Amino acid sequence: MMPERLLAAWGAAWLRTFELVGGLTYLAWDVLLWLWRRLVGRVHLGRTAAVTQIVRVGVRSIGIVTLVCGCIGFILALQMEPPLRDFGQTDKIANIIGVAVFRELGPLIAAIVLTGFAGAAIAAELGTMVVGEEIEALEAHALNPIRFLVVPRVLATIVSLVALTVIADVVAVGAGSAVTVLLLGVPFDLYWTNTVDQLQVSDFVTGLIKAGAFGTILSLIACYNGLRVTGGAAGVGRATTDTVVQTVVLVIVADLIITGIFYTLGFN
């Protein structure tokens, strides 16, 4: 029985994966259709709703993103000092922190923090509306839930994550410079010069592209899981858990794919 059970478990896992990918693709296509209708002037999506979501998703996440990325900057500087000191290259901490943060850690850490802070909240909010039959009430009044609920949250999450990535980059580099200058004795002018000489516009742009992709993944997964809630309060709990797990996994996989594409194109 063991091989049959193992095969059944693998099959069920693959079916859930295909279901998730298909559902996210369909939802993304629906969102794009509404955005296209907005661009050609056929519908209005509601600027107030999008701004409200930006405040909920982005502005309220600034504090936790700042705290986490500041700690990341401190950790990077302290961890890299011993091996670089052996080669007399302590001042190169600035180069490594700059590249690591702008290309990779800034958007990735911001996305993971936003997943726990806002992604689960979006899934729980939409799931509660499903349980309370508010989605059915919208449809009964000929109001499309994707247009009024999903599109503002997707746009707000993408914009917020891009902005939070910029904040994360500045805070992490600033924290790293504080440790390197104040504790490790590297002159600030040298740290700043090394950072500016090392970084290129492509480093900043690739980080923002990743942030936009991560924001899209995060928002679509949160909205998808929230809208398909079944089973009352227990279903809402499962939706929030699934949102966090699926988003973290897919964000890291997407990070690998995007990094590979940039490497192939020579953006390194």
Residue 18 lies in a domain: no
Residue 208 lies in a domain: yes
Structural domain of 107: 47-265
Number of structural domains found in the chain? 1
Residue 13 lies in a domain: no
Unique residue bearing structure tokens 């398909």: 228
Residue 35 lies in a domain: no
Q: What's residue 206's pLDDT? A: 92
**Count of alpha carbons within 13 angstroms of residue 214, beta-carbon side:** 35
Task: Tell me the pLDDT tens digit for each residue of 194-228.
Answer: 888 888 888 889 999 999 999 999 999 999 998 88
DSSP 42: S
- Whether 1 shows a pLDDT value over 60: the answer reads no
Q: What's residue 268's pLDDT? A: 65
Cα–Cα dist 33/138, whole Å: 19
Residue 260 lies in a domain: yes
**Sequence-distant (≥ 6) Cβ neighbours of residue 153 within 8 angstroms:** 53, 57, 122, 219, 222, 223
Residue 23 lies in a domain: no
Number of helices followed by number of strands (H, E) in the chain: 12, 0
Q: Is the pTM of this model over 0.75?
A: yes
Task: Tell me the pLDDT tens digit for each residue of 134-162.
Answer: 888 887 887 788 888 899 999 999 999 99
Task: Tell me the pLDDT tens digit for each residue of 114-130.
Answer: 998 888 889 988 988 88
